[in-house]
């Protein structure tokens, strides 16, 4: 499966922003979080990046209209998956006893699967990351990261197509 994730990084310029984001994305691949990634300045892939999603800026200033849109889309996607998991957990808790869920009498391993996804801070349920590669999971974390800025650096958002 493919998805677009974004990294918020601090840099002097767009090229440096891409380099900073690549460090994060490379680590995700090395750690097995994602199989591979493709940046939107790389037109060589026939299955990912521009080939899959069309033209997209390789980096954006976070405060620009387009940068804010990228960040907003990522937060909406993270929230959507969170609430889908919550809904399924509530349904399981409502319809099955604790013993039934624990013993998996009805094939409901889905409970542990949903809990696993709710507890993740990186991976296929998280669409936005900070400069350290930590998932941004709520508005408070987003506000905190956007308010931090090393002296003389700009805040960029760098999208990547990832496969998991």
Distance CA 56, CA 120 (A): 27
Residue appearing with tokens 């002097």: 12
pLDDT in tens, 47-97: 999 999 999 999 999 999 999 999 999 999 999 999 999 999 999 899 888
135 beta partners: 129
Q: What is 71-113 written as a DSSP string?
A: HHHHHHHHHHHHHHHHHHHHHHHHHS-HHHHHHTTTS-THHHH
pLDDT in tens, 96-140: 888 888 887 655 578 888 899 999 999 999 999 999 999 999 999
Q: How many Å apart are CA 60 and CA 74, to the nearest integer?
A: 14
The reported pTM is 0.91
Report which DSSP code applies to 41: T
Residues in the chain: 164
Q: Please give the pLDDT value at position 106.
A: 59
DSSP 135: B
- Cα distance between residue 53 and residue 123, in whole Å: 19
Phi-psi region of 32 (alpha: psi -120 to 50; beta: other; left: phi over 0): left
Which burial class, exposed, middle or buried, applies to 7 when counting CB atoms under 10 A from its CB (0-12, 13-18, 19+)? buried
Q: What is the pLDDT of residues 148-164, one digit of tens each?
A: 877 889 999 999 999 99
Do 12 and 152 contact (CB within 8 A), yes or no?
Answer: yes
């Amino acid at each position: 499966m493919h998805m677009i994730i974004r990294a918020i990084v601090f840099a002097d310029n767009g090229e440096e922003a891409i380099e900073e984001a690549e460090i994060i994305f490379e680590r995700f691949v090395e750690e097995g979080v994602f199989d591979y990634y493709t940046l939107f300045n790389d037109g060589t892939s026939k299955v990912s990046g521009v080939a899959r999603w069309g033209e997209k800026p390789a980096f954006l200033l976070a405060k620009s209209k387009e940068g804010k849109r990228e960040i907003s889309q990522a937060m909406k996607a993270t929230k959507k998956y969170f609430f889908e998991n919550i809904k399924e957990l509530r349904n399981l808790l409502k319809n099955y006893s604790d013993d039934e869920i624990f013993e998996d009498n009805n094939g409901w391993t889905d409970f542990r699967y949903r809990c696993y996804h709710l507890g993740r801070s990186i991976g296929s349920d998280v669409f936005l990351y900070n400069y350290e590669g930590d998932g941004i999971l709520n508005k408070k974390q987003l506000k905190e990261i956007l308010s931090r800025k090393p002296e003389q650096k700009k805040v960029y958002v760098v999208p990547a197509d990832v496969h998991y």
